[in-house]
Amino acid sequence: MIPSDHFVRFYNEVFKFLDEQGGLEAYYREISLHQELHCLELFRSRKLQGMYEYYRKIYKEENCQGELILNEGELILRMDRCPSLTKALDNDAGACRKYCLHCPGWTAPLYRKAGLYQIYELMGLDNPQCCEWIYEDKVRAEAKYRERKAAAKDPAMILSNLT
Q: What is the pLDDT of residue 85?
A: 87
pLDDT of residue 90: 83
Question: Tell me, what's the pLDDT at 3?
Answer: 73
pLDDT at 155: 94
Task: For residue 140, give its domain range.
Answer: 4-160
Q: Report the greatest alpha carbon distance in the chain.
A: 45
Compute φ and ψ for 115, nearest 5 degrees: 80, 30
Q: What is the pLDDT of residue 32?
A: 95
**pLDDT number for residue 126:** 81
| Spatial separation of the C-alpha atoms in residues 28 and 108, rounded to whole Å | 10
User: Considering its fold, how many domains does the chain have in total?
Assistant: 1
- In the chain, where do the E strands start and end? 65-71, 74-81, 117-122, 130-135, 158-160
- Position 163 scores a pLDDT of 86
What distance in Å separates the CA atoms of residue 157 and residue 72, rounded to the nearest whole number? 26
- Residue 16 has a pLDDT of 95
Cα–Cα distance between 71 and 6 in angstroms, integer? 37
pLDDT value at position 160?
96
Read off the pLDDT of residues 111-145 as tens digits, 9 standing for 90 and up.
Answer: 999 999 999 999 887 889 999 999 999 999 999 99
pTM for the full predicted model: 0.91
**pLDDT < 70 stretches in the chain:** 1, 4-5
Question: How confident is the model at residue 17, as a pLDDT?
Answer: 97
Whichever domain contains 120, its CATH number is: 3.30.1380
The pLDDT score that the predictor gives to residue 119 is 98
DSSP β-bridge partners for residue 97? none
